[in-house]
Amino acid sequence: MSPAQHLPLMGIRIVAIEQYGAGPFATQHLADLGAEVIKIENPNDGGDVGRVVGPHYFGPGDSHFYEAFNRNKRSLALDLKKPEGRRVLLDLVSRCDIVFNNLRGDLPAKLGIDYAALAESNPAVVCVHLSAYGRTGSRAAWPGYDYLMQAEAGYLSLTGEPEGPPARFGLSIIDLMTGTTAAMAMLAGVLGARNTGQGRDLDVSLFDVALHNLAYVATWYLNGNHVTKREPRSSHPSLTPSELYQTRDGWIFIMCNKEKFWGVLANVVGKPEWVTDPGLADYKARLLNRDRVRRELDAVLMEHDTDEWIRRFAGKVPVAPVFDVAQALDSEFVAEQQRVVDFMHPEHGPIKNVASPVRVQGAELPTRAAPRMGEDTDALLDELGYGKADIAALREQVVVQ
């Protein structure tokens, strides 16, 4: 049996009406694990807008951005607004487990891609909708993007230095987490449908995920009326040392989030007296004396370079160097763990990308680069029973490409 046959999601088929970031990220999680993801792209509007998101490209209609979100998928160039295109979609739905989209909240019902519209073709189909603000309520027709969610959900008030302007995350973290949440919703839906024979709609929105991510910060406010604010040096709101500290040549992040790590740190830096000092001996004391902890740690840590402290702390105290993106991807640990993988493209050759975060015992994950628009159109239509004359007619009407 080949390694591919061991992939946990082999046999699950997903029809994905998706574009840009959050939606494609969701289905890519599942494609990496063996699901068949059929990406629907409109041949009359250029397909997934992510194909042209710059500034970096492998070729026309094939941006680095697009390749980051669409590996291991198949592309069917199909115009769903035409009756003939609708018929092809229903044929696909009759043979799939999931219909997924990341359209504006009011559009799935209008396009007939919700459960009410598709159940007749497949009562067990799971329809998962990823939108900005959900499919109901006053904002169902609103467009929305990651940074807007960060702004409204309070993230900008928690990020950056206290005296600086509001600051967003450096990554589109809400897109990425909403995509991951949608992947979980798809799997939950399939499990439910296989237990009952009945599909349903499941909804995930950027706004709901952004709010949900507030987690303990939300609980502190909702139950104790505590409003968390920004802390200097990206500090943890209630634990110290758990922030950035200066070394001789830069910065290091230390997180003594368990009491035992403080004693280990004190001994490693040659300050065993800190363990019994009443002003430093426990969580509460160190939080009250955070400025002192910062001054004294800075003074000690600035005696050596970051690399030296990483060597001394390694495996004893939770610590990390502060890297830029290039340093992060080029690090020895990333290479050791084989976290950068070549995905093969028929035109461009190997395209480097970050590996799936899920490791599957006894299996090698697929390494097919993102598909060209319509790359799998003929093969998919053939699988559905369309003859060469039928496909030619659809192509002449620009229903497919």
Question: If the chain, 401 residues long, is cut into consecutive pieces of 10 residues, what is the mean pLDDT of each piece?
Answer: 72 97 98 98 93 95 97 97 96 98 97 98 98 98 97 96 94 98 98 97 98 97 96 93 96 96 96 96 94 96 97 97 97 97 96 97 95 96 96 95 90
Which tokens sit at 392? 């030619």
| The two domains 13-213+341-397 and 251-321 share their CATH topology (first three levels equal) | no
Q: Which CATH number fits domain 251-321: 3.30.1540.10, 3.50.50.60, 3.40.1710.10, 3.30.2320.30?
A: 3.30.1540.10
- In whole angstroms, give the CA distance from residue 259 to residue 236: 15
pLDDT of the residue at 1: 37
Tell me which amino acid residue 140 is: A
pLDDT of the residue at 6: 85
Q: With contact defined as beta carbons under 8 Å apart, do 172 and 146 qualify?
A: yes
Query: C-alpha distances in angstroms, 374 versus 19, 42, 90, 329?
Result: 14, 9, 18, 32
pLDDT of the residue at 383: 96
Cis preceding-peptide flag for 366 (omega within 30 of 0)? no
Locate the domains of the chain by residue range: 13-213+341-397, 251-321
Pairing, β 98-101 against β 74-77: unpaired
pLDDT of the residue at 4: 54
- In whole angstroms, give the CA distance from residue 56 to residue 68: 12
- In whole angstroms, give the CA distance from residue 204 to residue 102: 9
Query: C-alpha distances in angstroms, 165 versus 154, 156, 157, 161?
Result: 13, 9, 9, 8
Cis preceding-peptide flag for 165 (omega within 30 of 0)? no
The predicted model scores a pTM of 0.94
Q: What torsion do the CA atoms of 275, 276, 277, 278 make, to the nearest 10 degrees?
A: 120
Secondary-structure class of domain 13-213+341-397 per CATH: alpha beta
Q: With contact defined as beta carbons under 8 Å apart, do 38 and 74 qualify?
A: yes
